[in-house]
Amino acid sequence: MTRTTRTACVWCPDWPVTAARRRDPELAGVPVVVRERIGSRDVVRCASSEARADGVTRGMRRREAEARSPGVVCIDADPAYEARAFEVVARAIETVTPRVVLDRPGRCDFPTRGPARYFGGDEALAAHVHSVVAATGFGEGVRVGIADGMFAARLAARHARASEVGVHVVAPGESAVFLTPWPVSTLNNEALVSLLVRLGLRTLGSVAALPNDAVLARFGTDGRVFHELARGLDPGPPVLVTPPPDLVEQCELDPPATRVDVAAFAAKGLADRLLERLAERGLACTQVIVEAETEYGERLARTWRHDKALTPAALSERVRWQLDGWLAAQAPVVAAGDRRAQQDADVMADVDTAAGALTLVRLVPDEVVPADGRQLGFWGGDQAARDRADRALARVQGMLGYDAVATAVVQGGRTPVEQVRWVPWGEPREPERPLTIDGEVPAWPGALPPPYPARVFAPPLPAELLDGDGRPVRVSGRGESGPRPAWLWCRALPAGGGTVRSAAGPWPHDVRWWDPATRSRRVLWQLVVMTEDAGEIACIAAVENGSATVEAVYD
Amino acid sequence: MARAEIPDGLPLSAIAARVQPFVAARERLLPVALPLGNHLPNGGVQRGTTVVVDGRRGVGVTTTTLMLAAAATTTGEWAAIVDPDGTVGARAAADAGVELERCAVVRRVPRDRWSAVVAALLDGAALVAATVPDRLRPGDARRLIAKARERSSVLVAVGPWPVEAALRLHVEPSAWERASSGLLTRRDIVVHVEGRGVRAPMRLAHAV
């Protein structure tokens, strides 16, 4: 099942505006709009609170924004500078926890388990993080939210506005209740949100109240992810794969790079190569660690997350931002009259590091998912077949119930039933007891060797196992079986059973002997039964507490 | 193809379907692994057809079915198994060559919804192996045959199939080979193949 990690989210609202004001102090107190170009349109990317008070909203055309708010100052978006400035905040948070994950400039999150214990609880941690970030001078309106899972934590950070302290902590297990009143538009999928609204499902609570099967049948796998988010579960990336250890890309910079364009050029090649090699294995990357070493031997590392699989352009952009942040942090030599560089230097002077030039850049894939839909067949091919299968199976799940459609995962165990885990279709295929642990194959004493039975009964079917004198075969207190079986009767066998031709075993199992409540002692037999009209039938029989069962048939 | 034949505004997928090249019969085949494939016409099962597997319980019907299901997953397609009792052994399936990741098993199917479930699965999976309930109505069976033909999927009916089928595999009782300790080692499943493209009913053996 899905596990949710308790997560803290640090959010600096209107980060582009904050960064711009930091660079140009004259902008403080005046309405500011950061604009960007989307295609041929010139739209508002972010507006300051003064501009918003005049009715300027995100996504509005620039001309309309200027009409609504006379005297507004329009500046161009500069994502690289925003990312560079956010490095100051990230470093401040890094004094609290090493596991900071950047989501975009202005927002980052980290798991709270360790730091919350150290600082004495979630509230204390949140307050501490808030004060640390506020101390950087960038803390204008910073908000900290802590909840179960990333989605709830982000909303908690948004909710923090209501309280004066800029901190909101949702108690463990309360996330589902906390999410109930939020509108569905907080889920980041426009098509689905508009459909939900038209169906009258306006809040997360109303989505969460729907039965699982119905959501799956009506909205497909996208809907299921929504449903889990709305119920306060964190679906995370669909299936995480352990990143292959050799998929680390690095390059040495000789001479050491002091300018970001030199380092970024090298990093661009790294990013392309990393994604290419992942794609060769049918994998894509959603979270990456950017590492660098400086000429003084300092090692820097920062994690970046992306909601979807990283494209080469998105990855190299993030790497560039990060390298830029590190290089700018070492107080560059300022050319006279270069006002912007001077202010950059002022910003970065807050950061206590003497990094120096970069000598090595390394990219480590941190979260890797199977890439689906990248390798299209010429006539539609793979992706079309997968979509078709997904739709049909979701429909059957809607008809029969979510658990009715399953896939099997082979796992460790002794009996044929234990060796397989049935996972509902669409859930991560993870074994409970992996077949290999760190490359070693754990031994399961008493497991039967191959061939494996094609029919496995769970629960096992009651049977009668008799010895030559017609008495039931039993297990002694020491796990030893008495006389060999001679007759087996069970409804799983044709003609109800017959004489035992040959018997292999017994395999004694002393299960959980250390636990009086659940311990059991049984023996397994592999039998070949001669039936009247179907010849030899092979099966696995078990004897436990004096009663026999048939566990599996080699059909 | 002349340009004028494709009207404007047609979605790309529809155009692809129109200009899709002629598909040879051989390409409409799901090749079945040896040794079973050796004894089937063209070495596999034709897409859009229905195959019946029957025999007494325990003689190797399930293993034979799994070998057919493996034909779909090894070509990169999806397979579905309808198993109302919920007893298919996954390790045996993996041994028969089925890729478990692309094989959905539908369990706990009520009798009255069996046909609807199989029809829905034929829409999505390249091969559907379904255990047939007792006394299936011939009309329902014919509808499923038509559905399989329309969707170019293979329907493998396991059990008493009331109507005709392209291929019938009848599994007959066979003997197990055992090590001196009594441990099972292998057996030759005896399959009686009958149907279109098979010259005479064949009785043949293949190993597990």
Look at B116 and A420 and tell me if their CB atoms are within 8 Å: no
For residue A452, name the pLDDT band (cuts at 50, 70, 90).
Answer: very high
Over range A313-341, report the average pLDDT: 66
Residues B28-83: tens digit of each pLDDT: 888 888 788 888 888 889 999 999 999 998 899 999 999 999 999 888 889 999 99
Helix (H) or strand (E) holding A44: strand A41-47
pLDDT reading at B208 higher than 60: no
Q: Is the pLDDT of residue A322 over 90?
A: no
3-state secondary structure at position A355: coil
For position A377, what pLDDT does the model report? 45
Q: Read off the tokens for A141.
A: 């309106």
Is the predicted pLDDT of residue B24 greater than 80, yes or no? Answer: no
C-alpha closest to that of B177 among B198, B208, B153, B205: B208
List chain B residues with CB under 8 Å of A420: 89-91
| Contacts of B196 by beta carbon, 8 Å cutoff, 6+ apart | B41, B166, B167
Sequential DSSP letters for A294-325? ETTS-EEEEEEE-SSPPPHHHHHHHHHHHHHH
Can you say how many angstroms the Cα of residue A443 is from the centroid of all Cα atoms in its chain? 31
Backbone angle region of A212, left / alpha / beta, with phi > 0 → left and psi within -120 to 50 → alpha: alpha
Q: Are strands B184-195 and B202-207 parallel, antiparallel or unpaired?
A: antiparallel
Nearest to A299 by CA among A339, A226, A355, A351: A355
B77 touching chain A per CB within 8 A: yes
Domain ranges of chain B: 2-6+38-174
Q: Is the dihedral of CA A227, A232, A233, A234 positive or negative?
A: positive
pLDDT digits (tens, 9 = 90+) for A91-129: 888 888 888 888 888 889 898 888 888 998 888 999 899
- A551 interaction partners in chain B (CB closer than 8 Å): none
The least confident of A252-266, A490-504, B162-176 is A252-266
Q: How far apart are CA A427 and CA B112, in angstroms?
A: 28
Phi, psi of A262 (to 5 degrees): -65, -50
Assess contact for A169 and A178: CB atoms under 8 A: no
- The Cβ of residue B16 has, within 10 Å, a number of other Cβ atoms equal to 13
Cβ atoms within 10 Å of A146's Cβ, excluding its own:
28
Question: B176 and A493 in contact by Cβ < 8 A?
Answer: no
Average of per-residue pLDDT values in chain B: 86
DSSP A257-280: E-SHHHHHHHHHHHHHHHHHHHHH
CB B34 within 8 A of CB B163: no
Per-residue model confidence as pLDDT tens digits over A381-405:
566 777 788 888 888 888 888 888 9
Pick from A75-79, A449-453, B144-148, B167-171: least confident: A75-79
- Check B76 against A385: CB less than 8 A apart: yes
Q: Which residues of A134-143 are buried (b: 16+ CB within 10 A; e: fewer)?
A: eebebbbebb
Q: Are B202 and B192 in contact (CB under 8 A)?
A: yes
Question: Taking the C-alpha atoms of B138, B144, B150 and B156 in order, what is their torsion angle to the nearest 10 degrees?
Answer: -110
B25: pLDDT strictly greater than 80: no
Q: What is the pLDDT of residues B102-116, one digit of tens each?
A: 899 998 899 999 999
The answer to whether A406 contacts B105, with C-beta atoms less than 8 Å apart, is yes
A107 forms beta bridges with A11, A104
Distance CA B78, CA B154 (A): 11
pLDDT of residue A355: 57
Indicate the pLDDT class of residue A445, thresholds 50, 70 and 90. Answer: confident
Distance between CA A351 and CA A495 in Å, rounded? 83
**Least CB-CB distance to B178: which of A386, A407, A502?**
A502
Residue A479 has a CB neighbour count (10 Å cut-off) of 14
Nearest chain A CA: its distance from B40 CA (Å)? 21
DSSP 3-state assignment of A244? Answer: coil
Return d(Cα B158, Cα B132) in angstroms, integer: 6
Categorize the per-residue pLDDT at A488 as very low, low, confident or very high, splitting at 50, 70 and 90: very high
Q: Which of B80, B96, B174 sits opposite A535 (nearest CB)?
A: B174
* The residue count for chain A: 555
Element housing B70 (H / E): helix B61-74
Which one of A169-173, A371-375, A516-520, B129-133 scores highest in mean pLDDT?
B129-133
Average pLDDT, chain A: 82
- Looking at per-residue pLDDT, the higher value among B1 and A185 belongs to A185
Q: Alpha-carbon distance B53 to B62, whole Å?
A: 9
What are the backbone dihedrals phi and psi of residue A75, each rounded to the nearest 5 degrees, phi first?
Answer: -125, 155
Contact (CB<8Å) A391/B77? no
Higher pLDDT, residue A89 or A333: A89
CB spacing of B109 vs A400 below 8 angstroms: yes
Task: Give residue A20's pLDDT.
Answer: 86
- Return d(Cα A538, Cα A554) in angstroms, integer: 5
**CA–centroid distance for A356 within its chain:** 35
Backbone phi, then psi, for A247, in 5-degree steps? -90, 50
Q: How far apart are CA B140 and CA B163, in angstroms?
A: 10
**What is the per-residue pLDDT across A396-432, written as a single tens digit (0 to 9) for each?**
888 888 888 999 999 988 899 999 999 888 777 888 8
Distance (Å, rounded) from C-alpha A326 to C-alpha A263?
11
**Residue B185 three-state SS:** strand
DSSP conformation letters of A386-434: HHHHHHHHHHHHHHH-GGGEEEEEE---SSTTTTEEEEETTS----SS-
pLDDT tens for residues A245-292?
778 888 888 888 887 778 878 888 888 888 888 888 778 888 888 888
Tell me the shortest Cα–Cα distance from A237 to chain B, in angstroms: 18
| pLDDT above 80 (res B26) | no
Kindly report whether the global pTM for this prediction surpasses the value 0.90: no
pLDDT over 70 (residue A347)? no
Neighbours of A349 (CB within 10 A): 10
For B92, which of A382, A453, A458 is closest by C-beta distance? A453
Residue by residue, DSSP assigns B76-139 as: T--EEEEETT--B-HHHHHHTT--GGGEEEEE---GGGHHHHHHHHHHH-SEEEEEPPTT--HH
Closest CA to B192 of B21, B2, B59, B103: B59
B144-181 b/e with 16+ CB inside 10 Å = b? bbebbbebebbbbbbbebebebbbbbbbbbbebebeee
What confidence category does residue A479 fall into, taking pLDDT thresholds of 50, 70 and 90?
low
- Interhelix angle for A312-328 vs A79-94, to 10°? 60
> Which of A331 and B34 is assigned the larger pLDDT?
B34
pLDDT of A373 > 60? The answer is no
- Position B21 pLDDT exceeds 90: no
Asked if B118 and B161 count as a contact pair (C-beta separation under 8 A), the reply is no
| Total count of residues recorded for chain B | 208
Q: pLDDT tens, A207-226?
A: 899 988 888 888 877 788 88
Q: Among residues 102-131 of chain B, which lie with CB inside 8 Å of chain A?
A: 102-110, 113, 116-117, 120-121, 123-126
DSSP A175-243: HHHHHTTSBGGGSS-HHHHHHHHHTT--BHHHHHTS-HHHHHHHHHHHHHHHHHHHTT----SSS-BPP
**Which of A356-365, A453-462, B163-172 shows the lowest mean pLDDT across its residues?**
A356-365
Give CATH for domain B2-6+38-174.
Answer: 3.40.50.300
A positions 464-503 inside 8 Å of B (CB)? 492-494, 502-503
Residue B181 at interface with chain A, using a CB cutoff of 8 Å? yes
* CB within 8 Å: A553 and B58: yes
In this prediction, residues A332-340 reach a mean pLDDT of 42
